[in-house]
């Protein structure tokens, strides 16, 4: 196979200049180039917060599908929406807080729910209109919405079942200035 190195170099520089690649993407392209393998014709670009906000008919199910290829990356703090989207990686806090805010902007009634289990804390976004919650762990599934009653105990039982354990407490909370403010808590 004949490789046109100047053309390959131009394509790589164009992608790098466009700022469309994350650090892992750059490493992949450089590795492919060094090994003499064909470069991918299209590199997946991260969706932006502005693009999500601009979607006129964004639904809970449509929203979670944007995250199907995101990686799980546990963080100590909740990432900003822009950082979460740009990295295409994060955890349940990052997703649930972004989902709640975006869907609220679109007119949905959302609740942030934290389920406390013996070795886990998991956060989901409950959407009243669909009587379901969005769970970052289900982002790759064909039917990612978890149908569920709005009762905190029922939500906690459903989440805990997916972790194959019991829940100890569940809290609804809001975020203000990066701080959690608990609305209500139920103990098992």
Query: Residue-wise pLDDT tens for the chain (188 aa)?
Result: 444 555 655 665 565 555 555 566 666 656 555 666 555 545 467 899 999 999 999 999 999 999 999 999 999 899 999 999 999 999 999 999 999 999 999 999 999 999 999 999 999 999 999 999 999 999 999 999 999 999 999 999 999 999 999 999 999 999 888 789 999 999 99
Q: What own/partner pairs with CB < 8 Å and gap ≥ 24 does 175-181 have?
A: 175/78, 175/97, 175/112, 178/77, 178/78, 180/114
Q: How far apart are CA 78 and CA 56, in angstroms?
A: 27
The topology under which CATH files domain 49-187 is C8orf32 fold (3.10.620)
Q: Rounded to two decimals, what is the model's pTM?
A: 0.76
**Beta strands 89-90 and 71-72, pairing class:** parallel
Instruction: Answer for the pair 79, 87: CB distance below 8 angstroms, yes or no.
Output: yes
- Torsion angles phi and psi, residue 116, rounded to 5: -100, 120
């Amino acid at each position: 196979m004949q490789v046109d190195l100047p053309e390959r170099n131009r394509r790589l520089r164009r992608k790098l200049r466009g700022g469309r690649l994350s650090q892992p993407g750059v490493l992949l392209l450089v590795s492919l180039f060094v090994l003499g393998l064909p470069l991918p014709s299209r590199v997946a670009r991260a969706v932006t917060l502005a693009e999500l906000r601009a979607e006129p008919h964004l639904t809970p199910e449509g929203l979670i599908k944007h995250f199907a290829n995101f990686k799980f990356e546990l963080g100590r703090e909740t990432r900003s929406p822009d950082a979460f989207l740009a990295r295409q990686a994060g955890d349940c806090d990052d997703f649930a807080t972004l989902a709640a805010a975006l869907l609220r902007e679109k007119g949905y009634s959302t609740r942030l729910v934290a389920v406390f289990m013996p070795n886990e804390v998991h956060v989901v976004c409950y959407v009243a209109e669909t009587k379901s919650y969005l769970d970052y762990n289900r982002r790759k599934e064909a039917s990612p919405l978890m149908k569920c009653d709005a009762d905190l105990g029922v939500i906690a039982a459903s989440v805990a079942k997916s972790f194959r354990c019991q829940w100890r407490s569940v809290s609804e909370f809001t975020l203000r200035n990066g701080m959690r403010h608990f609305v209500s808590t139920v103990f098992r």
